[in-house]
Structure 1
C-alpha cells in the first residue's frame, strides 16, 4: 500500500447506463462485472449504495480558515519529482482515481473512477471515469490523461513512482470514458489498487511545461483546492472550490470542509510550539514527548481555549530508528552495527527525556499483526527454510529483542557485549580510540539530524559511543540540505522513519530492494542489497491471501531485524493533538486516520465563543 499521502478519497456510485456501456466498450469479459469498490483481501465494508463513510458528517458546514505550521521551507509546488522541496499541502490540488477507506485495512472506492473492472486473476484493471470529473479549469478528465500520468510518473517522477508502478506494463483507451491498465504478470494482486491511487495529471497543461523542474506556478489539478497565494518559502494558502464536482461523491461527502488552509513555515518545532500557544495557528499533532508533558503550560491551555487529547488508533507505526548507511565500509559488517546498537540506552532515554511515554519498537511493522514475534512458526519456517545459510542463524533460533538496560544510565554490560562484537569484527582499542587492526582506520562517523530536538537524544548516544572509543559527531542541518543529502545517500547515521500500512506490497521494493539501493532518491536510504530480501519482497507482493501476506511479511521482518540495519527507537499507539477550541468533528474517528483536514470543520458557535474570550488571537 502507498506511503505517499492520500489527500483525497472516495467511493463510487454506479450508474446503470454507464455500466452497460463499460462492459461492451472494451476487452472486458461479460462476466467481469463493474465494481463499486476493491479490497485487497476479504469483503468491502461499504455496499454499492452507501452514502458516506461513517467517520464523516455529510451535514458538516463548509467555511472558515484554518492555519497550520510547517517546518523549514519550500521551493516547488510540484510534489511528484525529486527536484526541490514541495510546499506543505500540495497534494490538496490533485485528485486520484480511488480512495482508501480509513476504517478498512486496504479497501478502495472510486473518486474520479465511477466503477472499475478487475478479472479474477487481477492481471489488469479497467476504470470507468465519472462523467462529471473535471480538472479545475473545467476541462474533463479523460483516459488520455491517465495514460499520460502513468508514463510521466514512471519516466520523470521521483524514484518511488518508478518502483511503485514498475509492473504496470501499459495503459490503453478502451472506451470514451474507460482506460485499461495491463500488468506484466498476474502475480501482483495489489496492482489494481495501486493504480487506483495514482494522482491524475492533465496532459494538455504539461504539454508546454517541463515536468521535472521546480516551479512556484500552481499546477492544474482536479482536487477541491487551488492555490490562492504563495509567499515563497514562508507561507502558502489554499482556497476551496465552491460546489466542487467531487462534493457529491459518497466517500467525499462531509470532507474537506475548510474554505481556506494556510501553512506558515517556522525554523524549527520549538519556535512553532511557541507560535501555536500564542494563537498563530490552530492545530498541532505533538510528536515530542517532552513537549507534550511540559510544553503546554500556557494560559490558553489553563483557560480551556486550547484543548489537548490523546486518541487511540490502530495505525501501524512501522520503524523509526537510528539507521546506518551500509554503503559506508565501516558499517558493512552487521556485527559492527549490532555493537553500536548496544550503546543506545532507550530505557534511560524514555525515563529521563520522554517521561515514560513510549514503547520500544521491535519490528519494521510494529503495532500490527504483520510484526514478527517469538520464534518463527511452521508457516514462517517454510518460507525461510530455503534461505538457511544465506541469512543470520538467529533468524531461526532467536526472537529479535533490541539491546536494553535497567534505565539507570549504567551501560557497562552492554558496552562489554559491544566490545566483544567489535573485536570479532577486527576493531581494537589503541590510544583510547577504536581502530581497525589491519588498516589502522579509526572509527569515526557523523550522526546527521534535521531537527535540533533530536540533539538531546543523539548527544547522550554519542557520549556512550565515546566510551567505546568511537568518535560520533552530531550535526543538525536545515531541511533542504537534509533532504538533498538523504536523496544522494550522503550520510553515515541518521534518524529515519519507514512507515508501513496494513497491506504492505510494491512499496517494499523502494525501501529494501537491491535495485532501489542504486537509485538516488529511493527510500532504500540504508542501502540494503540482499538477494534474500529481494526474494522475500516478491513473496510479499505476490501473496495470494491475507494469511500468506502476514506470514511472508513476518519472515521479511525477521531478516531485516537480524540484519541490524537500524537501531530501533520507539512508538506511541495514540495521536497526541492540541487545537484551539473552534473545531467540531464526527463522533466516530477512523481506525487508521486522524482525518483532521478531511473530516473536521469549524463550529460557528465555538468560533464565536473563542473570539469573545480571546479577541486579539491571530486569525
Structure 2
C-alpha cells in the first residue's frame, strides 16, 4: 500500500468518524441539577444555611388544627399527622434550600445519568440502615416504586408514573428506567422518592390506615401517638445519616411534639398560654387582633413578620367544572364579579393581603402583562384553540372602589349570565333551556372563611343565585374533596420555583376524574395537557419561565 492509498484510507476514516454522532459520556456525580452546575461540590461538608455546630437537645412543641387517624402518609385513606414522611423516611436525594431544581445524594453516594436522560443509576451508601439495623437495599427501592405506582395515593401514582421500571444491577446499585421522551426532570423526580422497607411492609396491608408506628430510616422515629390528639417524634441517636453533608447541622431537636386543636381560636389561646412554641399565622384577622395580652407585653410571645422569596402559589375559590352549571366560563366569570376584594381587604383582611393574579405569585414564573417574546411564540402555536383575549387583553380580576356597592360589577355579571343562557324567573336565576336553577354551595373546612364568604351571599342573591355555606370537619371535607363532591371550595395551591411533573396532577385530563387527584377544578383541555407536557420537558430555565 503506497502513501497515497494510506492517506485516502485515513481521510475516509476521518470522514466516517466525524459523520457519526458523538455520544457524550454519562454524567456521574454526587448530585444532580436540571439547570446549570451544582452549587456544592463533591467535598462539601454542609449546606451554607445550616450550622454544623448547632447544639442538639430539647423539645420543639407545635400545634396543629384538626385530627389524624393514619400513620401511612402515602395512601388516599385517612388523615396523617404533619411531617410524618419527611421525619421518619429518607429519600434517595436531598434538595437544597438555596438552589432550584437540585438533588444531592442522601441514601445514595453516586448518581449516573446518560445524555438522553432515559434512566438513572443509583449506588446506595453501604452504611444506609433502617431503624432495625437492616441495610437499605435495591430491593427496597424496587418495592417502593411498585407500591407507590399500584397502591399509593393519586398524587404519588401520577408523580412517579413516568418511572417505567426499576432493576437491580449490583449489590448496592439500582437503575430506574424512564418511559416516553427524554425528560430532564425525571432523574431529579426519582430522587425525591421516600424509600420504604420491603421486609416491614410485605406482611402488612399498605392500602389500609394504621396507627402502628411504621419502620423508617430517617432522623426521627415515632415515640408516642394518641390518635387525633398528639404525636411525638424522637431523634434517633444512632441515625445512620446524621453526619452526611446534607444533614449536618439539621434535625437538632431531641423531640418534636404536635398537639392537635379543634380550631385556630383554640390553638392561638394555647400558644399564648405557652402550651407550644411556634405558629405560622396565615389569617390577617388573627395576625391583627389575636396576638395581644400579657404574654405579648412581657415578651414571652413574639410576633414577627418574616419576608421570604418562595413562590406564594394561590389561595382562591375553586369551581367544580364537572358540574354542568359551571361548564361555561362566562358563568364562572360572572360569579367572580360578586366578590368585592377591595372591600374585603379593607374591612376583613386588615389591608394585609395582595390579590393573586397568577398560580406562581412571588416568582419569576408569574404571568405579567400581555404575552411577548418566547411566551408569545409558544401561544401562537395554539391560536384558534385558545381564547383570542389572551393575545390582546391583559388578565385582570374584577375590581371595585371598596365601598361595598357593586352595581356596575353585578350588571356585568348579569350580561355574562344572559349570554350563557341564564335568565331570572321570579327572582331566581334559571337556565333558559334546561330549567335548572342556579344553586351553589361553598364547602368550607374552617369557620374562619365563613366571614369572608358571607358578604358574597347577598351579592349572589341579587343575581338570582341561591347560595349557601356549609362548614364541615376536616375528615368530611377531605372525603368530599377527594370525591369531587362540591360546588366551590377554598383551597391554597402551593407551587415551587421549579414546577414539573406534579403539574400533571393539578391540571390535566388524565386525572380529572380520578378520585383524590389534585385537579380539583376538573380541567379537561388538550391544550392545557400539551402545555403541561411542554413545561415538564422544557430544555432550559428560560423555556420553563416562558
Q: TM-score, normalised by structure 2?
A: 0.94
Partner residue of 1:502 out of 497, 502, 506: 497
CA distance in 2, matches of 1:119, 1:461: 55
Structure 2 counterpart of 1:217: 212
Structure 2 counterpart of 1:63: 57
Within 5 Å, give how 1:119-518 maps onto structure 2. Answer: 119-518=114-513
- Structure 1's 269 and 179: CA in aligned 2 closer, same or farther, altered over 3 A? same
Let me know the Cα RMSD of the aligned residues.
Answer: 1.2
Ranges in structure 1 where 5+ consecutive residues have no aligned partner: 1-28, 552-619
Mapped contact 2:233–2:255 kept (Cα < 8 A): yes
1:68 alignment partner, SS class? strand
Q: Residue by residue, what CA displacement relative to the aligned partner does 1:267-292 show, whole Å, maximum 9, x if unpaired? A: 11111111111111111000001111
- Structure 1's 441 and 33: CA in aligned 2 closer, same or farther, altered over 3 A? closer
1:309 alignment partner, SS class? coil
Larger Rg: 2
Structure 2 counterpart of 1:536: 531
Q: Residue by residue, what CA displacement relative to the aligned partner does 1:404-461 show, whole Å, maximum 9, x if unpaired? A: 1111111111111101000100111121111112222211110000011101101112
* Aligned: 1:524 with 2:544: no
Mapped contact 2:221–2:233 kept (Cα < 8 A): yes
- Structure 1's 349 and 156: CA in aligned 2 closer, same or farther, altered over 3 A? same
Shift of 1:543: 0.6
CA distance in 1, matches of 2:425, 2:171: 75
Structure 1 counterpart of 2:3: none
Shift of 1:186: 4.1
Q: Residue by residue, what CA displacement relative to the aligned partner does 1:503-555 show, whole Å, maximum 9, x if unpaired? A: 1111111001101102101000110000110011111111111111111xxxx
CA distance in 2, matches of 1:510, 1:114: 31
CA distance in 2, matches of 1:383, 1:300: 55
CA distance in 2, matches of 1:73, 1:461: 30
CA distance in 2, matches of 1:42, 1:312: 27
Structure 2 counterpart of 1:10: none
CA distance in 1, matches of 2:241, 2:454: 50
CA distance in 2, matches of 1:187, 1:394: 34
Structure 1 counterpart of 2:35: 41
Shift of 1:312: 1.1
Partner residue of 1:32 out of 10, 23, 26: 26
CA distance in 1, matches of 2:313, 2:292: 31
Ranges in structure 2 where 5+ consecutive residues have no aligned partner: 1-22
Shift of 1:30: 10
Name the stretch that deviates more: 258-267 or 385-394.
Answer: 385-394
| Structure with larger RCO (C-alpha < 8 A, sep 6+) | 1
Name the stretch that deviates more: 431-440 or 279-288.
Answer: 431-440
CA distance in 2, matches of 1:460, 1:454: 11
Structure 1 counterpart of 2:8: none
Q: Residue by residue, what CA displacement relative to the aligned partner does 1:3-53 show, whole Å, maximum 9, x if unpaired? A: xxxxxxxxxxxxxxxxxxxxxxxxxx9932521121111121111111111
CA distance in 2, matches of 1:49, 1:89: 29
2:490 alignment partner, SS class? strand
Structure 2 counterpart of 1:613: none
Mapped contact 2:217–2:239 kept (Cα < 8 A): no
Partner residue of 1:82 out of 76, 85, 91: 76
1:80 alignment partner, SS class? coil
- The count of corresponding residues between Structure 1 and Structure 2 is 523
Mapped contact 2:25–2:115 kept (Cα < 8 A): no
Mapped contact 2:27–2:115 kept (Cα < 8 A): no
1:281 alignment partner, SS class? coil
Runs of 4+ in 1 over 4 A off after TM superposition: none
CA distance in 2, matches of 1:508, 1:87: 24
2:443 alignment partner, SS class? strand
2:282 alignment partner, SS class? coil
Q: Residue by residue, what CA displacement relative to the aligned partner does 1:114-158 show, whole Å, maximum 9, x if unpaired? A: 121112221111111111111111111001100110010000000
Shift of 1:185: 3.0
- Structure 1's 531 and 30: CA in aligned 2 closer, same or farther, altered over 3 A? closer
